Amino acid sequence: MRPIIHAPAIIAALFFLGACSQSTVRDSEVLSRSEPVQFNNAPQPIEPEAVQPAAPARRDMVVLLPKPNGYIGGVVVRSEGSEPLLLNTAYAGARIDGPGQVHALAYDADRARDEFGSVIQSLPSRPANFVLYFLEGKDELTPESDGEVTRIFSELKSRPDPEIWVIGHTDAVGTMQYNDQLSLQRAERVRDDLVSRGIPAESIEVSGRGKREPLVPTSEGISEPKNRRVEINVR
Amino acid sequence: MVKALTFQRDILIFAFLTLLCAFLAMPRAMAADEEAGRVKVSKGEVFIERGGKRIAAPVGTSVQASDTVLTGADGSVGITFHDNSLLSAGPNSELVIDKFVFDSTTHKGEFDTSLKKGTLAVVSGKIVKQSPESMRIRTPAAIMGVRGTEFVVKVDDPATN
Protein backbone atom coordinates (compact mmCIF):
# COMPACT_ATOMS: atom_id res chain seq x y z
CA MET A 1 0.00 0.00 0.00
CA ARG A 2 1.24 3.47 -0.89
CA PRO A 3 1.06 6.18 1.77
CA ILE A 4 -1.18 8.96 0.52
CA ILE A 5 0.94 11.76 1.96
CA HIS A 6 4.71 11.72 1.77
CA ALA A 7 7.07 13.22 4.30
CA PRO A 8 8.55 15.69 1.80
CA ALA A 9 5.06 16.99 1.08
CA ILE A 10 4.33 17.42 4.80
CA ILE A 11 7.63 19.17 5.39
CA ALA A 12 7.04 21.45 2.42
CA ALA A 13 3.55 22.28 3.70
CA LEU A 14 4.89 23.11 7.19
CA PHE A 15 7.64 25.26 5.74
CA PHE A 16 5.02 27.11 3.75
CA LEU A 17 2.95 27.68 6.91
CA GLY A 18 6.03 28.84 8.77
CA ALA A 19 6.92 31.24 5.99
CA CYS A 20 3.39 32.67 6.05
CA SER A 21 3.33 33.26 9.81
CA GLN A 22 6.71 34.98 9.85
CA SER A 23 6.70 36.72 6.49
CA THR A 24 9.11 39.60 6.23
CA VAL A 25 7.73 42.74 4.70
CA ARG A 26 11.21 43.65 3.56
CA ASP A 27 11.42 40.84 1.02
CA SER A 28 7.99 41.40 -0.46
CA GLU A 29 8.60 45.14 -0.79
CA VAL A 30 11.94 44.68 -2.47
CA LEU A 31 10.55 42.06 -4.85
CA SER A 32 7.57 44.17 -5.81
CA ARG A 33 9.86 46.84 -7.19
CA SER A 34 12.25 44.59 -9.05
CA GLU A 35 12.01 43.89 -12.79
CA PRO A 36 9.84 40.97 -13.85
CA VAL A 37 11.89 37.78 -14.15
CA GLN A 38 12.24 36.52 -17.72
CA PHE A 39 12.50 32.83 -18.44
CA ASN A 40 14.45 32.44 -21.64
CA ASN A 41 16.81 29.61 -22.47
CA ALA A 42 18.54 31.48 -25.30
CA PRO A 43 21.83 33.05 -24.19
CA GLN A 44 21.38 36.74 -23.50
CA PRO A 45 23.83 39.25 -24.94
CA ILE A 46 25.64 41.06 -22.14
CA GLU A 47 24.73 44.73 -22.28
CA PRO A 48 26.88 47.13 -20.27
CA GLU A 49 23.81 49.30 -19.50
CA ALA A 50 22.17 46.41 -17.68
CA VAL A 51 24.99 46.35 -15.10
CA GLN A 52 24.46 49.97 -14.06
CA PRO A 53 22.90 50.20 -10.60
CA ALA A 54 19.26 51.20 -10.58
CA ALA A 55 18.05 54.17 -8.52
CA PRO A 56 18.04 53.20 -4.83
CA ALA A 57 14.87 51.42 -3.78
CA ARG A 58 14.98 53.11 -0.39
CA ARG A 59 16.52 56.01 1.48
CA ASP A 60 16.27 54.95 5.11
CA MET A 61 18.22 57.07 7.57
CA VAL A 62 19.45 56.76 11.11
CA VAL A 63 21.16 59.57 13.07
CA LEU A 64 22.68 59.30 16.55
CA LEU A 65 21.86 62.17 18.93
CA PRO A 66 23.78 63.28 22.01
CA LYS A 67 21.74 62.94 25.22
CA PRO A 68 20.79 66.22 26.96
CA ASN A 69 23.63 65.55 29.45
CA GLY A 70 26.13 65.22 26.57
CA TYR A 71 26.46 61.44 26.78
CA ILE A 72 26.77 59.70 23.41
CA GLY A 73 25.93 56.03 23.20
CA GLY A 74 26.01 53.80 20.17
CA VAL A 75 23.90 52.16 17.51
CA VAL A 76 25.05 49.29 15.30
CA VAL A 77 23.50 49.31 11.82
CA ARG A 78 23.26 45.85 10.30
CA SER A 79 22.05 45.04 6.82
CA GLU A 80 22.28 41.70 5.08
CA GLY A 81 25.38 41.63 2.86
CA SER A 82 27.29 44.51 4.48
CA GLU A 83 29.63 44.90 7.46
CA PRO A 84 27.98 46.19 10.66
CA LEU A 85 28.40 49.98 10.95
CA LEU A 86 28.85 51.37 14.48
CA LEU A 87 27.61 54.92 15.02
CA ASN A 88 29.16 56.29 18.21
CA THR A 89 29.80 60.01 17.70
CA ALA A 90 27.32 62.90 17.96
CA TYR A 91 25.19 63.24 14.80
CA ALA A 92 26.87 60.28 13.10
CA GLY A 93 24.38 58.85 10.64
CA ALA A 94 23.80 56.21 8.03
CA ARG A 95 21.73 56.00 4.87
CA ILE A 96 20.49 52.58 3.81
CA ASP A 97 19.58 52.39 0.13
CA GLY A 98 18.58 48.74 0.24
CA PRO A 99 19.81 45.45 1.69
CA GLY A 100 23.59 45.60 2.02
CA GLN A 101 23.81 49.26 0.91
CA VAL A 102 24.78 51.10 4.09
CA HIS A 103 26.53 54.49 3.72
CA ALA A 104 27.98 56.49 6.63
CA LEU A 105 26.83 60.12 6.81
CA ALA A 106 27.81 63.09 8.93
CA TYR A 107 24.95 65.21 10.25
CA ASP A 108 25.11 68.26 12.48
CA ALA A 109 22.73 69.69 15.07
CA ASP A 110 20.98 72.03 12.60
CA ARG A 111 20.40 69.44 9.91
CA ALA A 112 19.15 66.91 12.48
CA ARG A 113 16.74 69.53 13.84
CA ASP A 114 15.46 70.40 10.35
CA GLU A 115 14.79 66.79 9.39
CA PHE A 116 13.79 65.25 12.71
CA GLY A 117 12.74 68.18 14.95
CA SER A 118 9.04 67.33 14.90
CA VAL A 119 9.45 63.67 15.87
CA ILE A 120 11.95 64.56 18.63
CA GLN A 121 9.43 67.05 20.03
CA SER A 122 6.85 64.27 20.30
CA LEU A 123 8.97 62.23 22.72
CA PRO A 124 7.30 61.84 26.12
CA SER A 125 8.87 63.71 29.07
CA ARG A 126 11.82 61.83 30.44
CA PRO A 127 11.06 59.91 33.66
CA ALA A 128 11.86 61.98 36.77
CA ASN A 129 13.91 60.23 39.44
CA PHE A 130 13.56 60.56 43.23
CA VAL A 131 15.38 58.66 45.96
CA LEU A 132 14.11 57.90 49.46
CA TYR A 133 16.44 56.44 52.14
CA PHE A 134 15.70 53.83 54.80
CA LEU A 135 16.80 53.05 58.35
CA GLU A 136 19.07 49.98 58.51
CA GLY A 137 17.29 46.62 58.20
CA LYS A 138 13.87 48.32 58.35
CA ASP A 139 11.27 49.56 55.92
CA GLU A 140 11.04 52.98 57.67
CA LEU A 141 12.05 56.18 55.85
CA THR A 142 14.71 58.54 57.19
CA PRO A 143 13.20 61.88 58.31
CA GLU A 144 14.77 63.82 55.38
CA SER A 145 13.17 61.48 52.87
CA ASP A 146 9.71 62.23 54.20
CA GLY A 147 10.02 65.74 52.74
CA GLU A 148 10.91 64.41 49.29
CA VAL A 149 7.44 62.94 48.96
CA THR A 150 6.02 66.48 48.52
CA ARG A 151 8.21 67.01 45.46
CA ILE A 152 7.00 63.74 43.98
CA PHE A 153 3.44 65.02 44.22
CA SER A 154 4.17 68.19 42.29
CA GLU A 155 5.96 66.15 39.58
CA LEU A 156 2.89 63.92 39.28
CA LYS A 157 0.65 66.92 38.71
CA SER A 158 2.83 68.20 35.87
CA ARG A 159 2.42 65.07 33.71
CA PRO A 160 -0.29 63.68 31.45
CA ASP A 161 -1.37 60.17 32.52
CA PRO A 162 1.24 59.99 35.32
CA GLU A 163 2.58 56.60 36.41
CA ILE A 164 4.87 55.82 39.32
CA TRP A 165 7.45 53.05 39.37
CA VAL A 166 8.71 52.33 42.89
CA ILE A 167 11.98 50.37 42.93
CA GLY A 168 13.41 49.04 46.20
CA HIS A 169 17.17 48.57 46.80
CA THR A 170 19.25 47.17 49.67
CA ASP A 171 22.88 47.23 50.79
CA ALA A 172 25.09 44.13 50.44
CA VAL A 173 24.35 42.61 53.88
CA GLY A 174 22.64 39.21 53.52
CA THR A 175 21.73 36.75 50.80
CA MET A 176 20.32 37.56 47.37
CA GLN A 177 16.95 36.10 48.32
CA TYR A 178 16.76 38.03 51.63
CA ASN A 179 17.59 41.30 49.87
CA ASP A 180 15.17 40.69 47.00
CA GLN A 181 12.44 40.32 49.59
CA LEU A 182 13.58 43.29 51.72
CA SER A 183 13.83 45.56 48.65
CA LEU A 184 10.31 44.60 47.56
CA GLN A 185 9.01 45.23 51.12
CA ARG A 186 10.55 48.70 51.06
CA ALA A 187 8.96 49.42 47.69
CA GLU A 188 5.57 48.18 48.92
CA ARG A 189 5.87 50.28 52.06
CA VAL A 190 6.39 53.37 49.89
CA ARG A 191 3.52 52.38 47.60
CA ASP A 192 1.15 52.03 50.59
CA ASP A 193 2.29 55.41 51.85
CA LEU A 194 1.64 57.04 48.45
CA VAL A 195 -1.78 55.38 48.22
CA SER A 196 -2.69 56.65 51.71
CA ARG A 197 -1.77 60.14 50.50
CA GLY A 198 -4.26 59.86 47.65
CA ILE A 199 -2.47 58.35 44.65
CA PRO A 200 -4.50 55.64 42.88
CA ALA A 201 -2.92 52.22 43.52
CA GLU A 202 -3.37 51.15 39.88
CA SER A 203 -0.98 53.86 38.67
CA ILE A 204 1.82 52.51 40.88
CA GLU A 205 4.10 49.62 39.94
CA VAL A 206 6.52 48.13 42.47
CA SER A 207 9.66 46.07 42.04
CA GLY A 208 12.63 45.03 44.15
CA ARG A 209 16.13 45.11 42.71
CA GLY A 210 17.68 43.57 45.83
CA LYS A 211 21.40 44.32 46.02
CA ARG A 212 21.95 44.35 42.23
CA GLU A 213 22.19 48.11 41.79
CA PRO A 214 24.06 49.76 44.68
CA LEU A 215 24.41 53.55 44.54
CA VAL A 216 27.78 53.13 46.28
CA PRO A 217 29.50 49.90 45.21
CA THR A 218 30.77 47.90 48.23
CA SER A 219 32.09 44.41 48.95
CA GLU A 220 29.73 41.66 50.08
CA GLY A 221 28.36 42.07 53.61
CA ILE A 222 29.05 45.83 53.95
CA SER A 223 26.36 47.96 55.60
CA GLU A 224 25.92 51.16 53.55
CA PRO A 225 23.07 53.60 54.31
CA LYS A 226 23.17 55.14 50.79
CA ASN A 227 22.31 51.75 49.29
CA ARG A 228 19.27 51.19 51.52
CA ARG A 229 16.92 53.20 49.39
CA VAL A 230 13.82 53.30 47.27
CA GLU A 231 13.97 54.92 43.88
CA ILE A 232 10.85 56.48 42.47
CA ASN A 233 10.42 57.06 38.76
CA VAL A 234 7.58 59.35 37.77
CA ARG A 235 6.78 58.94 34.08
CA MET B 1 6.70 -3.93 4.71
CA VAL B 2 9.08 -1.25 3.57
CA LYS B 3 6.17 1.00 2.58
CA ALA B 4 4.49 0.50 5.97
CA LEU B 5 7.69 1.54 7.76
CA THR B 6 7.96 4.64 5.56
CA PHE B 7 4.40 5.55 6.45
CA GLN B 8 5.11 5.17 10.18
CA ARG B 9 8.16 7.37 9.81
CA ASP B 10 6.04 9.96 7.98
CA ILE B 11 3.57 10.06 10.86
CA LEU B 12 6.35 10.44 13.41
CA ILE B 13 7.90 13.32 11.47
CA PHE B 14 4.49 14.95 11.12
CA ALA B 15 3.80 14.63 14.87
CA PHE B 16 7.22 16.02 15.75
CA LEU B 17 6.89 19.02 13.42
CA THR B 18 3.35 19.74 14.65
CA LEU B 19 4.61 19.82 18.25
CA LEU B 20 7.54 22.01 17.21
CA CYS B 21 5.20 24.50 15.52
CA ALA B 22 2.90 24.59 18.56
CA PHE B 23 5.91 25.20 20.81
CA LEU B 24 7.23 28.00 18.59
CA ALA B 25 3.83 29.68 18.46
CA MET B 26 3.37 29.62 22.27
CA PRO B 27 5.46 32.56 23.50
CA ARG B 28 3.81 34.82 20.96
CA ALA B 29 0.36 33.96 22.28
CA MET B 30 1.46 34.37 25.90
CA ALA B 31 3.01 37.77 25.27
CA ALA B 32 -0.30 39.25 24.10
CA ASP B 33 -2.56 41.32 26.37
CA GLU B 34 0.24 42.52 28.60
CA GLU B 35 0.86 46.25 28.75
CA ALA B 36 4.28 47.18 27.36
CA GLY B 37 3.84 50.93 27.57
CA ARG B 38 1.45 53.87 27.52
CA VAL B 39 0.69 56.67 25.12
CA LYS B 40 1.86 59.93 26.74
CA VAL B 41 1.74 62.24 23.73
CA SER B 42 -1.00 62.05 21.10
CA LYS B 43 -1.54 64.79 18.51
CA GLY B 44 -3.79 64.65 15.46
CA GLU B 45 -4.73 61.24 14.09
CA VAL B 46 -3.18 58.41 16.14
CA PHE B 47 -4.42 54.82 15.97
CA ILE B 48 -3.46 51.40 17.23
CA GLU B 49 -4.20 48.28 15.21
CA ARG B 50 -4.72 45.29 17.47
CA GLY B 51 -6.12 41.93 16.46
CA GLY B 52 -7.45 43.29 13.16
CA LYS B 53 -9.24 46.24 14.82
CA ARG B 54 -8.26 49.89 14.63
CA ILE B 55 -8.73 51.92 17.80
CA ALA B 56 -8.07 55.61 18.51
CA ALA B 57 -5.06 56.11 20.81
CA PRO B 58 -5.40 59.20 23.03
CA VAL B 59 -3.07 59.87 26.00
CA GLY B 60 -3.31 57.00 28.49
CA THR B 61 -3.89 54.21 25.93
CA SER B 62 -2.10 50.94 26.71
CA VAL B 63 0.38 49.72 24.13
CA GLN B 64 0.98 45.97 23.84
CA ALA B 65 3.41 43.69 22.03
CA SER B 66 2.19 43.00 18.46
CA ASP B 67 0.34 46.35 18.26
CA THR B 68 0.80 48.49 15.16
CA VAL B 69 0.89 52.22 15.91
CA LEU B 70 -0.28 54.47 13.04
CA THR B 71 -0.25 58.23 12.62
CA GLY B 72 -2.06 60.36 10.05
CA ALA B 73 -0.71 63.28 8.01
CA ASP B 74 -1.15 65.60 11.03
CA GLY B 75 -0.46 62.96 13.68
CA SER B 76 2.36 62.24 16.11
CA VAL B 77 2.60 59.96 19.12
CA GLY B 78 4.93 59.48 22.10
CA ILE B 79 5.01 56.25 24.14
CA THR B 80 6.74 55.50 27.46
CA PHE B 81 7.53 51.80 27.94
CA HIS B 82 7.75 49.85 31.22
CA ASP B 83 11.56 49.85 31.18
CA ASN B 84 11.55 53.67 30.74
CA SER B 85 12.37 53.46 27.02
CA LEU B 86 10.75 56.31 25.10
CA LEU B 87 9.61 56.13 21.47
CA SER B 88 7.91 58.73 19.33
CA ALA B 89 6.62 58.61 15.77
CA GLY B 90 6.03 61.58 13.48
CA PRO B 91 3.34 62.09 10.80
CA ASN B 92 2.42 59.31 8.32
CA SER B 93 4.21 56.65 10.33
CA GLU B 94 3.67 52.97 10.86
CA LEU B 95 5.43 51.36 13.80
CA VAL B 96 5.04 47.72 14.87
CA ILE B 97 5.83 46.67 18.45
CA ASP B 98 7.13 43.20 17.60
CA LYS B 99 8.27 42.15 21.05
CA PHE B 100 8.53 43.59 24.54
CA VAL B 101 9.73 41.42 27.43
CA PHE B 102 11.07 42.99 30.63
CA ASP B 103 11.89 41.55 34.06
CA SER B 104 11.66 44.44 36.53
CA THR B 105 13.89 42.66 39.10
CA THR B 106 16.81 41.63 36.88
CA HIS B 107 16.16 44.20 34.08
CA LYS B 108 16.72 41.48 31.51
CA GLY B 109 14.52 41.73 28.48
CA GLU B 110 14.07 42.11 24.76
CA PHE B 111 12.52 44.94 22.82
CA ASP B 112 11.94 44.69 19.05
CA THR B 113 10.15 47.25 16.96
CA SER B 114 9.80 47.75 13.21
CA LEU B 115 9.44 51.12 11.53
CA LYS B 116 7.58 50.33 8.29
CA LYS B 117 7.35 53.98 7.25
CA GLY B 118 7.66 57.49 8.64
CA THR B 119 9.93 58.83 11.38
CA LEU B 120 10.89 57.50 14.79
CA ALA B 121 12.81 58.93 17.76
CA VAL B 122 14.22 56.54 20.39
CA VAL B 123 15.54 57.05 23.93
CA SER B 124 16.69 53.69 25.27
CA GLY B 125 15.78 52.47 28.76
CA LYS B 126 16.70 49.89 31.38
CA ILE B 127 16.67 46.86 29.05
CA VAL B 128 19.56 48.33 27.05
CA LYS B 129 21.39 49.45 30.20
CA GLN B 130 21.32 45.84 31.44
CA SER B 131 22.10 44.16 28.08
CA PRO B 132 23.23 46.31 25.15
CA GLU B 133 21.67 45.44 21.79
CA SER B 134 18.73 43.61 23.36
CA MET B 135 16.72 46.49 21.88
CA ARG B 136 16.49 46.38 18.10
CA ILE B 137 14.80 48.66 15.59
CA ARG B 138 14.07 47.18 12.19
CA THR B 139 13.60 49.14 9.00
CA PRO B 140 12.79 47.53 5.64
CA ALA B 141 16.52 47.21 4.81
CA ALA B 142 18.39 47.23 8.14
CA ILE B 143 18.41 46.37 11.83
CA MET B 144 19.70 48.86 14.41
CA GLY B 145 21.17 47.30 17.56
CA VAL B 146 20.85 49.84 20.40
CA ARG B 147 23.77 50.25 22.79
CA GLY B 148 22.30 52.85 25.11
CA THR B 149 21.51 56.10 23.40
CA GLU B 150 19.16 58.45 21.64
CA PHE B 151 18.66 58.41 17.91
CA VAL B 152 16.24 59.06 15.10
CA VAL B 153 15.23 56.87 12.18
CA LYS B 154 13.44 57.68 8.93
CA VAL B 155 11.98 55.18 6.51
CA ASP B 156 11.59 56.89 3.19
CA ASP B 157 10.16 54.90 0.35
CA PRO B 158 10.67 56.85 -2.92
CA ALA B 159 8.06 54.66 -4.63
CA THR B 160 5.29 56.16 -2.50
CA ASN B 161 6.48 59.79 -2.62
Q: List the 128-157 stretch of A: residues with Cβ below 8 A of B.
A: none
Residue of A nearest to B90 (CA): A119
What pLDDT, on a 0 to 100 scale, did the predictor assign at position A36? 44
Which chain A residues have a beta carbon less than 8 Å from that of B76?
118-119, 121-122
Which chain B residues have a beta carbon less than 8 Å from that of A3?
3, 6-7, 10
| Distance (Å, whole) CA B161 – CA B147 | 32
What pLDDT, on a 0 to 100 scale, did the predictor assign at position B2? 52
**With contact defined as beta carbons under 8 Å apart, do B120 and B87 qualify?**
yes
Q: A219: pLDDT confidence band, cut at 50, 70 and 90?
A: very high
What pLDDT, on a 0 to 100 scale, did the predictor assign at position B130? 94
Q: Which residues contact B118 (CB under 8 A, 6 or more apart)?
A: B71, B89, B90, B91, B92, B93, B94, B95, B154, B155
Report pLDDT digits (tens) over B32-50: 468 999 999 999 999 999 9
Which chain B residues have a beta carbon less than 8 Å from that of A167?
104
Q: Count Cβ–Cβ pairs < 8 Å, chain A vs chain B.
A: 207
| Distance (Å, whole) CA A166 – CA A134 | 14
What pLDDT, on a 0 to 100 scale, did the predictor assign at position A25? 38
Q: Is the pLDDT of residue A46 over 70?
A: no
Q: Is the pLDDT of residue B78 over 80?
A: yes
Task: Name the residue ranges covered by the structural domains of chain A.
Answer: 4-20+37-122, 128-234
Q: Is the pLDDT of residue B120 over 70?
A: yes
Q: Is the pLDDT of residue A176 over 90?
A: yes
Q: A153: pLDDT confidence band, cut at 50, 70 and 90?
A: confident
Query: β-strands B68-71, B76-81: how paired?
Result: unpaired
Report pLDDT digits (tens) over A72-107: 889 999 999 899 999 999 999 999 998 899 999 999
Interface contact B50, partner A, CB < 8 A: no
Q: CB-based burial of residue A205 (10 Å sphere; 0-12 exposed, 13-18 middle, 19+ buried)? A: middle
Interface contact A95, partner B, CB < 8 A: no
Q: B28: pLDDT confidence band, cut at 50, 70 and 90?
A: very low
The four Cα atoms B63, B69, B75, B81 give a dihedral, to 10 degrees, of 40
**With contact defined as beta carbons under 8 Å apart, do A55 and B158 qualify?**
yes
| Distance (Å, whole) CA A32 – CA A114 | 32
Q: B69: pLDDT confidence band, cut at 50, 70 and 90?
A: very high
Of the listed ranges A18-32, A74-88, A197-211, B99-113, the one predicted with least confidence: A18-32
Residue A154's DSSP bridge partners are: none
**With contact defined as beta carbons under 8 Å apart, do A174 and A218 qualify?**
no
Q: Is the pLDDT of residue B161 over 70?
A: no
Q: Is the pLDDT of residue A235 over 60?
A: yes
Mean pLDDT (whole number) for A190-197? 89
Q: Does residue A120 come out as left (phi exceeding 0), alpha (psi in the -120 to 50 range) or beta?
A: alpha
Q: Which ipTM value was assigned to this complex?
A: 0.79
Residue A116 to residues A65, B85, B97, B151, Cα–Cα distance (Å): 11, 19, 21, 10
The amino acid present at A92, given as its one-letter code, is A
Mean pLDDT (whole number) for A210-218? 95
Looking at per-residue pLDDT, the higher value among A174 and A149 belongs to A174
What is the 8-class DSSP label of residue A56? P
Which chain B residues have a beta carbon less than 8 Å from that of A75?
144-147, 149, 151
What pLDDT, on a 0 to 100 scale, did the predictor assign at position A1? 47
CATH topology classification for A128-234: 60s Ribosomal Protein L30; Chain: A; (3.30.1330)
Of the listed ranges A145-149, B15-19, B71-75, B138-142, the one predicted with least confidence: B15-19
Looking at per-residue pLDDT, the higher value among B31 and B71 belongs to B71
Report pLDDT digits (tens) over A4-28: 555 555 555 555 554 444 443 333 3
